[in-house]
Every structure is written in C-alpha cells, then in structure tokens.
C-alpha cells in the first residue's frame, strides 16, 4: 500500500471515530437511575485506538463540525455557541484528553497499567477544563461547580475506564491489521 492510501485510511478512521464520538452523545445505556452516556468512553477510545496525533485530529474534526453549526453536539442546536455555553469547557477538554490518552498510551507501549493511568489523566483533564469553564460562565463557586459538574459522574467514569481496556484490546488488531495488506471479500 502506498503512502497516500495509508494517509487516506488514517483519515477515514479518524473521521469515523469523530462520527462515533458525535453519536456517543446520543447513545446512553440505561442502567440504574442515571443512564450512562457513552461519549467520554468514546473520547478515551479515540486516544487509545488512534494514538495521540490522530486521536486529537479526530476530536478536533468533531469539534470543528459542531463549531461551524452542523448538528453534532448533544442537545440539538450546535454552533460556536456551544463553546461559549456552560458546557463548552468539556468540549475543549475532550480534545486535550484524546491527545493525552493517546500520547501516554503510545509511550507506555499499550501496557494495561499505563493505559489505565492515561485514561485517569484524560478524565481529570476533561473535568479541569469543564468545571473551570462552568464556574466562569455561570458564576457558581468552585464547590458548587464540582458538585454539579463532576462528582455525579465519577462512578460512571470509573466504569468506562474499566470497559475501555478490553474494548481497546479487541479492536486494536482490526485497526492495526488494516494497515497491512487489505483483504477483499468474495
């Protein structure tokens, strides 16, 4: 496979990962009283599966699509307003998290312990951006902002990190394999 075909392949993977991220905002698994929304699981997986550089590109494309007004953000209407809005910080946090998770995971040669560490760091950075921005926009105190913008989600986040490890292990061969020789069906 020549260079441009590889580049095209990476591009398509990153674009589809971005579409999955967008879909993740709409998909929830109904367990217990609070359904688990899959979006930040998908953000972590973007980093784990595509690596730092392409993970960042993937989330960047998702944010770009939303910023220019295409309907990819949760809660209907997108547009640049979402970044200025109260949840805008989380969106920027997503980009930072995908990059961080990818870079740490790559430098740790995808060992499980390192991957877990990478995702913990990723989760923290999402909240660092998200909660600070929530505080700025709404004028709440930090304790209030943490109480609404972080604590209720932590159990779900731990679950997602635990789920991401086996998911990444199962999917990496598909993605790595397709950068070898392609096999046509039929």
Residues that bind another protein (CB under 8 A): 4-5, 8-9, 11-16, 18-20, 22-23, 26-27, 29, 31-32, 36, 38, 41, 45, 57, 61-62, 64-65, 68-72, 75-82, 84-86, 137-140, 144, 148, 159-160, 162-163, 166-167, 170-171, 174-175, 177-178, 180-186
Nearer residue to another protein within complex by CB, 109 or 183: 183
Q: Closest CB to another protein among 6 and 111?
A: 6
State the minimum distance, in angstroms, from the CB of residue 47 to another protein.
14
Q: 72 or 104: whose CB is closer to another protein? A: 72
Give one DSSP letter per residue of 56-67, joined into a string.
Answer: HHHHHHHHHHHH
- CB closer to another protein, 107 vs 182: 182
> For residue 162, what are its two tokens?
């635990």
Q: How far is the CB of 3 from another protein (least distance, A)?
A: 12
Torsions phi, psi of 36, nearest 5?
-90, 115
First CA to last CA distance, the chain: 20
Minimum CB distance to another protein smaller for 113 or for 184: 184
* Least Cβ distance, residue 29 to another protein (angstroms): 5
Residue count of the chain, please give it. Answer: 186
Report how far residue 127's alpha carbon sits from residue 96's, in angstroms, rounded to the nearest whole number.
11
Distance CA 2, CA 21 (A): 29
Continuous segment of H or E residues that includes residue 152: none
**Closest CB 113 distance from another protein, rounded Å:** 18
CA 157 to the chain's CA centroid: 12
| Least Cβ distance, residue 91 to another protein (angstroms) | 14
- Using an 8 Å Cβ cutoff, are 115 and 48 in contact? yes
């Amino acid at each position: 496979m020549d260079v441009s075909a590889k580049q095209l392949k990476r591009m398509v993977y990153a674009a589809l990962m971005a579409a999955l991220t967008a879909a993740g905002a709409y998909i929830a698994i109904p367990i217990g009283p609070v359904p688990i929304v899959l979006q930040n699981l998908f953000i972590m997986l973007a980093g784990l599966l595509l690596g730092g550089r392409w993970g960042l590109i993937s989330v960047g494309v998702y944010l770009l699509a939303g910023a220019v007004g295409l309907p990819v953000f949760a809660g209907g209407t997108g547009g640049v307003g979402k970044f200025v809005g109260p949840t805008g910080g989380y969106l920027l946090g997503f980009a930072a998290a995908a990059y961080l998770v990818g870079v740490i995971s790559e430098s740790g040669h995808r060992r499980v312990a390192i991957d877990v560490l990478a995702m913990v760091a990723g989760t923290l950075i999402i909240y660092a951006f998200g909660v600070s921005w929530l505080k700025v926009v709404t004028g709440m105190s930090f304790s209030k902002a943490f109480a609404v913008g972080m604590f209720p989600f932590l159990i779900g986040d731990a679950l997602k990190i635990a789920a991401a490890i086996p998911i990444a292990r199962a999917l990496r061969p598909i993605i790595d394999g397709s950068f070898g020789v392609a096999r046509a069906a039929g």
